[in-house]
Chain A
Amino acid sequence: MASMLQIQNLSPADTRVAELAFEFVQFLLDDETNLTPAGNMTAAARQKFRARLDEIVAADESTGQPPEEPVAVVGAES
């Protein structure tokens, strides 16, 4: 799905971050429990997104490479 993302005027590094952020939001949106009745992200989902974004940016800033696995994905549902 992320392959669709072709944002103009972004550097390769920003594009990489944008792709991973987009992919994670898509993942969050795939589950209605992450959305409010009005269709916005819940506070918990926003927290997850921010945590994931921090991971992505921190990894990108330190190594120039995105993290392999989103550690920010938390919370079990069985």
Chain B
Amino acid sequence: MIERLRLRNFRRYRDATLSFQPGMNTIQGPNNVGKTTIFFAIEYALFGRVENFKTIRALMQPGKRSIGVELLFQGRTGERFLLQRIHQSPPKSKKTLDGQFTLKAILDDGEKYLLASDFGDTEDKLALKLQELTGLTRRFFCIALHMRQGEISSILSGAKQLDIVLGVTAASMAEDELRQMALELEKESAGLAVLQERIRSVGNELTQVHTELTGVTTEQKATADKLTALGEAADPRQELDRNLAPLLKAVTAYEDKQKQSEVAVRRLADERERRDEALKAGAKEVVEKELSALDAEKTKRAKAVEKSTAELATVVAEERKLHEQRGDLAGRIERRKGLPKGKGAKCEVCGAAIDAATMKKELAQWTGEIEELDKTLAELLAKHSSLQSTLDTATAEERKQFERADELKDQLELLKSLEEKIGKRQAESDTAATAVKNAFAAVQSGAAGVSKVVAAAAGVEAKWKLDGDPAGVLASIRETIQDLKQAMAETVGRRLAERQSLADLLQRFEVQKQSLAKRQNDLEREQATAKADASSQQVKAARAERFRRISAGFKEYQVQIRSEASVKLAADTIALHRRLSPTDEFTALVIDPAHYSVQVVPKDMDEEVPAALYEGGGHRLLLGLAYRLAVARLVDSCPFLMLDEPTDGLDTGHREALLDRLGDKELARQVLLVTHHAPPGAPGHHIRMAWVDNETVVQP
């Protein structure tokens, strides 16, 4: 229901506001004052356009740059809304118009914006919102609510728009579109059966691969356990080496001791040989005896030498004395011989004069004395030589004896030293022999100990002989060790070969497992992809099926709505006609479901005739009005009716009856009626308009 309408620059209105009431609202005024414009303004406000007006500018007051309408109305449930719509020319533009709208809810405590073009809301959203609030669509509005002057009865010959208003067109289009969409979806899901077969096939293969993978994993684990068991045991050769190490050490020690003993024995023998050799130069007793003899001889010779030395000293002293005497004589002679001859010769000692005879005599004497002296000296010299020779011989012998004594002492020293060395070597030899004995005992003991350990740890028996000569024992030990190692090497070789075989097997299992796992992943991926595709195609197939069902429903609905609507429209039209018209003119009224044209059976005829041809103008108008009201009732509630000169062509009786009956609120909650024929004092709200100063004004 419309409460208020404000128009700005809308055709003849510069700025006018009209208020409406529930029930009948009669709009009156002279021709061309702008009564019908009110209906255009309402249509403009609700839908942004006006039928038969190609442009908004055609609705605008000449010379103005904007047009606007404000509509206050009640919705289906009684809430109030304010719809504002304007169109205006942008600056510097004469042709284009920009439109804007705002829809607000009027609340007790103010307003609330619902939609606004300024907020980006579109005309489509506004149309949907208004349909929700009022139940109005533009086509419904045009065919059933807005009854234009002179066009009311045109509906009697049929209205293609009714297909749209009643939903037949919508059902048809929905049917076509849904069928088309179903077809497209069916094409898209055509591979579903193949996909499902593929999923089943992949599933079977996946199960097989999984089984194989489980088997390989089990075998791999068993092999790994075996390998672990083999790997956990230490290398028996190392164990054997560890066990044999002390024995080998003892053997080595024995051999070292043996060598040391041999060296000691050899050294002892050498020393003994050296002593025996030394004994050849004289045994100790012999040497000592000779030494004693040498000492006695030495004492004896010392005495002789002492005597000879004393004699020699006497001889030497005598010789010196004689030599001095001879020298004196010789000097005296020389000096006499050197004295001057004749008188004047003087003694060189006493200075007394010496004559030649004296001198001669004395020289002869002295020369005799010298000769005597020389004889004595010769004798002394012979004696001296003899003594000297004796002393020299004694000295030489003594030297020889000293040398011999030294040799004898050296021999004694050598013998003593050799005896000491022999004693030492003997001790060393004895010690070494003891050590050898001990080492051999250690070897025997070690071998006996090793036998048990080796037998326990390596599982092989040591078959060595520990009794008998050491060389045999050692040879037996060495041979046995060699045998043990050989046996162990064979055991270890077998074990290593087994281990390598298991490792190779494990590797093959791993490769096989990886290959199976990869195949499993590939299959799972393929299965997932196929399932996703199948799921998508199933959805599409389900949608296609659904769209086909709904499409079929719409097809059925078209037939149904046509037949049902035509029957109901016919019944309502004849009932409404009887309420609007004071005269009952038909016995029956039929609406053709194909074209919605009205067929009537007049009372004076027995057959159907087209209402548009048979009836007179006034009756056609009433019948058309009834038909349009029936359409409004059929489609939805009728919030208001806009009737523009619905009484043209009616006689006074029918006109008054119509105007009187239009106020019936069962027809519509609100009627906006434009007419020149409202009787004075007619009930309802009256709006009068006048043309004042080149504009339409609403008179109070």
Is A75 touching B124 in the complex (CB atoms < 8 A)?
yes
Residue of A nearest to B117 (CB): A78
A-B contact count (CB 8 A): 115
Is A22 touching B177 in the complex (CB atoms < 8 A)?
no
Q: With a CB–CB cut-off of 8 A, which chain B residues contact A38?
A: none
Is B124 touching A57 in the complex (CB atoms < 8 A)?
no
CA distance A46 to B184 in the complex (A): 14
Q: With a CB–CB cut-off of 8 A, which chain B residues contact A49?
A: 173-174, 177
Residue of A nearest to B121 (CB): A76
Residue of A nearest to B546 (CB): A14
Is A4 touching B553 in the complex (CB atoms < 8 A)?
no
CA distance A10 to B549 in the complex (A): 7
In the complex, what's the smallest C-beta–C-beta distance from A70 to chain B, in angstroms? 7
How many of chain B's residues have a CB under 8 angstroms from any CB in A?
44
Which residues from 1 to 52 on chain A have a C-beta closer than 8 Å to any C-beta of chain B? 1, 3-10, 14, 17-18, 21-22, 25-27, 29-31, 39-41, 46, 49-50
Known: A8-B556, A30-B139. A76 touches B123 (CB 8 A): yes
Interface string of B127-143 (1 = CB under 8 A from A): 11001000101111000
Interface string of B617-641 (1 = CB under 8 A from A): 0000000000000000011100000
Q: With a CB–CB cut-off of 8 A, which chain A residues contact B127?
A: 27, 30-31
Known: A1-B167, A29-B164, A57-B546. A22 touches B124 (CB 8 A): no
Known: A21-B550, A27-B137, A50-B177. A74 touches B167 (CB 8 A): no
Is B128 touching A70 in the complex (CB atoms < 8 A)?
yes
Is A25 touching B556 in the complex (CB atoms < 8 A)?
no
Q: With a CB–CB cut-off of 8 A, which chain A residues contact B155?
A: none
Which bracket fits the contact residues of A?
Answer: 35 or more
Is B549 touching A22 in the complex (CB atoms < 8 A)?
no
CA distance A58 to B66 in the complex (A): 44
CA distance A6 to B124 in the complex (A): 26
CB < 8 Å: which of A4, A40, A46, A73 contacts B125? A73
Is B166 in contact with chain A by the CB < 8 A criterion?
A: yes
CB < 8 Å: which of B169, B181, B539 contacts A53? B181
Q: With a CB–CB cut-off of 8 A, which chain B residues contact A25?
A: 170-171, 173-174, 177
Is B100 in contact with chain A by the CB < 8 A criterion?
A: yes
Is B178 in contact with chain A by the CB < 8 A criterion?
A: yes
Known: A1-B137, A1-B636, A78-B98. A29 touches B170 (CB 8 A): yes
Residue of B nearest to A78 (CB): B99
Is B383 in contact with chain A by the CB < 8 A criterion?
A: no
Is B557 in contact with chain A by the CB < 8 A criterion?
A: yes
In the complex, what's the smallest C-beta–C-beta distance from B32 to chain A, in angstroms? 29
23 contacts between A and B (CB under 8 A): A1-B135, A7-B550, A7-B553, A8-B556, A8-B560, A9-B553, A10-B550, A14-B546, A17-B550, A18-B174, A21-B550, A25-B171, A25-B177, A27-B128, A27-B131, A30-B127, A39-B169, A49-B173, A49-B177, A70-B128, A76-B117, A76-B122, A77-B124
